[in-house]
Amino acid sequence: MSLVLYNTATRRKEPFVPFVPGRVGMYVCGPTVYDYAHLGNARPVVVFDVLYRLLKRTYANVTYVRNITDVDDKINAAATARGEPIAAITARTIAAFHEDMAALNALPPDVEPRATQHIAEMIAMIERLVASGHAYVAEGHVLFHVPSLPTYGALSGRDRRAMVAGARVEVAPFKRDPADFVLWKPSSLDLPGWESPWGRGRPGWHIECSAMSEAHLGITFDIHGGGRDLIFPHHENEVAQSTCVHGGAPLVRYWLHNGFVTVEGEKMAKSVGNIVTVRALLGEFRGEAIRLALLSTHYRQPLDFTREGLREAERTLDRWYRLVGPRRAPGGRVADGVLAALDDDLNTPLAVAELHKLEEPAALRGAGDLLGLLQQDRDAWFHSTPRQSFSTTGIASAEAVGHPGAYQTGAPDQDYFAEGTSMAGSLSESVINERIQQRETARKARDYTTSDSIRAQLLARGIVLEDGPQGTTWRRAT
RNA sequence: GGCCAGGUGGCGGAGUGGCUACGCAGCGGACUGCAAAUCCGUGUACACCGGUUCGAAUCCGGUCCUGGCCUCCA
């Protein structure tokens, strides 16, 4: 394997060489848990899941860390707005996140640290920053002093003075420099808080990732991933904190960032009202189709998510499932073309094209395993509806998770899915099989009027019949 | 305003100097009682204008357009 990755820090593709031979440490920024995961959250999870699978093929020791941010002002705001304890919101959201990502065939990370479990490490880190002159205390806050680090801005490629000039947010008066950012801030008693040398307070956003990556991956690790929007300020600030704490030792060797997701050509944003949650989408499409749609565009490119794109992904999976054989079986050797595509900076669209060239079931299953696709039995795929697929993986319904109204994402979102009315799932398999038998009888009697009417009836309920050499099979229309 | 991406056939989407992917849709055919599925055939695209070159979608310059970031949005 000769993996090449595009490194945001150098803006070039570079051969991937682990810092410690044979061992790989990878950190991906995970969700802030106050609401269901949307497509923008799902893309990095799926993309870096493919990278994780690819790395595990080659390296015996891969540690994948994906954090959970469970202390954040957005969570506090949600708790206030809903009149619900923070712990209840985070616990429920984390459970939903796990279910949704599992439905997308994303493997769980090796470590999933939570910010609230690493407060002590954060405080220790901040103390060192204060002691070394990189941070200062002001009005109960601890701030990182950006001018104390001459190389600040290298990752995002921006000039400090230009940033200040373009700043559109009011600068807090106690900052020594407009670019300084918060490491620790005071908490009133109604907000989550921990005792610290600077009084009861809570961490700023960036420090958690510095603390958690050090705790689980050490001072310098190989890969750090996330969405493009995190390059600045989040990752820039992470670099600043960590390198200052670690006496200049580099934090990350390869920075990877995925592009944004738009929906039907529009930016997905709360203000537009077109946030598409994975959970809502899973009600209409199967997880593997969503996953394939996410992998059909190169991860660094912008991805426009459309209903038609999802349908195409379903048709593609239909075709592959017809070829892979009835039972889920261990995959065979991964085709060279597929590997070469993924080795080239995770070129998943090219890998998908390579899959189209495969005809052998074992080869398809093998490539599918690496991409996290084709993970079920053929019948399970053809007979399942989105809902069923969702529940057979042990996922509780949105209602069972509770307070569905709390996750109201607005009318436009509802409209997006309203047109996808589906009758599939309204017929049980026994009824379908019974009708197929009746049709068989009619066909043997050459009563094609009856047989065609049975097929038409089933089609109206979303069931497609196919007469093959081995008899009649059925599938859910998509 | 600054910085950064991107504009490829009806659609999606790779490709970054010559060999013009791949998929979907469409069209024609085979198969089928009819379908579906499958198979065969079928489409010479690279925003615009210059330049470099024997040769450019691919390199250089310019123009237009779209999107993102610019202090807590993946």
Query: Which ipTM was obtained for this model?
Result: 0.92
Burial class (CB in 10 A: 0-12, 13-18, 19+), A158: middle
Residue nearest to nucleotide B73 (CA to C1'): A229
Q: Rounded to an integer, what distance in angstroms lies between the CA atom of residue A193 and that of residue A201?
A: 5
Give the closest residue to A345 by CA, choosing from A47, A14, A4, A55.
Answer: A4
The helix (run of H) or strand (run of E) holding residue A416 is: helix A411-418
Q: Rounded to an integer, what distance in angstroms lies between the CA atom of residue A414 and that of residue A399?
A: 16
Q: Rounded to an integer, what distance in angstroms lies between the CA atom of residue A100 and that of residue A423?
A: 23
Class of domain A4-258: alpha beta
Q: Rounded to an integer, what distance in angstroms lies between the CA atom of residue A215 and that of residue A199?
A: 24
What three-state secondary structure class fits A41?
A: helix
Residue A170: predicted pLDDT: 56
Residue A247: predicted pLDDT: 92
Token representation of residue A43: 């893309």
What three-state secondary structure class fits A144?
A: strand
CA–centroid distance for A446 within its chain:
53
Residue nearest to nucleotide B36 (CA to C1'): A466
Nucleotide closest in space to A475 (CA vs C1'): B36
Residue nearest to nucleotide B25 (CA to C1'): A312
Within 7 A of a protein CB, which nucleotides of strand B? 1-6, 11-15, 21-25, 32-38, 67-74
Q: What are the helix (H) ranges across A231-335?
A: 236-245, 278-282, 287-295, 307-323
Residue A161: predicted pLDDT: 60
Nucleotide closest in space to A162 (CA vs C1'): B2
Q: Indicate where chain A has its CATH 3.40.50.620 domain(s).
A: 4-258
Q: Rounded to an integer, what distance in angstroms lies between the CA atom of residue A242 and that of residue A234?
A: 12
Strand partners, A422: none
What three-state secondary structure class fits A393?
A: coil
The helix (run of H) or strand (run of E) holding residue A441 is: helix A429-444
pLDDT by residue for chain A (478 residues), tens digit each?
Answer: 589 999 988 888 889 999 999 999 999 999 999 989 999 999 999 999 999 999 999 999 999 999 999 999 999 999 998 899 999 999 999 999 999 999 999 999 999 999 999 999 999 999 999 999 999 999 889 999 998 998 888 888 776 665 554 444 556 778 888 888 999 999 999 899 999 999 999 999 899 999 999 999 999 999 999 998 888 889 999 999 999 999 999 999 999 999 888 887 777 877 677 788 999 899 889 999 999 999 999 999 888 888 889 999 999 999 999 999 888 888 889 999 999 999 999 999 999 999 999 989 999 999 999 999 999 999 999 998 886 555 444 333 333 333 333 233 333 333 333 333 333 446 788 899 999 999 999 999 999 999 999 999 998 888 899 998 888 999 988 7
Listed in sequence order, the residues at least 6 apart from A441 whose beta carbon sits closer than 8 Å to its beta carbon are none
**A165 CB-to-strand B distance under 7 Å:** yes
Amino acid at A241: Q
Token representation of residue A193: 């808080």
Strand partners, A194: A201
Asked if A65 and A25 count as a contact pair (C-beta separation under 8 A), the reply is yes
Nucleotide closest in space to A232 (CA vs C1'): B69
Phi–psi pair at A48, nearest 5 degrees: -75, -15
Q: What are the helix (H) ranges across A254-385?
A: 278-282, 287-295, 307-323, 336-343, 348-356, 361-371, 378-383
**A377 CB-to-strand B distance under 7 Å:** no
Listed in sequence order, the residues at least 6 apart from A461 whose beta carbon sits closer than 8 Å to its beta carbon are A423, A424, A426, A427
Provide the CA A326 to C1' B26 distance, Å, integer: 32
Strands (E) in A96-140, as ranges, are 135-138
Burial class (CB in 10 A: 0-12, 13-18, 19+), A376: buried
Task: Return chain A residues 378..437 having CB < 7 Å to nucleic acid strand B.
Answer: none
Provide the CA A329 to C1' B67 distance, Å, integer: 43
CA–centroid distance for A292 within its chain:
13
Token representation of residue A330: 């261990």
Provide the CA A353 to C1' B44 distance, Å, integer: 21
Residue A462 Ramachandran class (φ > 0 left, ψ -120 to 50 alpha, else beta): left
Q: What single DSSP character describes residue A469?
A: T
Asked if A43 and A261 count as a contact pair (C-beta separation under 8 A), the reply is yes
**A232 CB-to-strand B distance under 7 Å:** yes
Provide the CA A171 to C1' B57 distance, Å, integer: 47
Provide the CA A224 to C1' B39 distance, Å, integer: 46
Q: Return the CA Rg of chain A.
A: 25
Task: Return chain A residues 3..42 having CB < 7 Å to nucleic acid strand B.
Answer: 11, 29, 31-32, 39-41
Q: Rounded to an integer, what distance in angstroms lies between the CA atom of residue A124 and that of residue A436?
A: 69
Bridge pairing between strands A4-7 and A303-305: unpaired
Token representation of residue A413: 């979102």
- The CA-CA-CA angle for residues A33, A35, A41, to 5°, reads 75
Q: Peptide bond before A233: cis, by omega within 30 degrees of 0?
A: yes
**A459 CB-to-strand B distance under 7 Å:** no
The helix (run of H) or strand (run of E) holding residue A444 is: helix A429-444
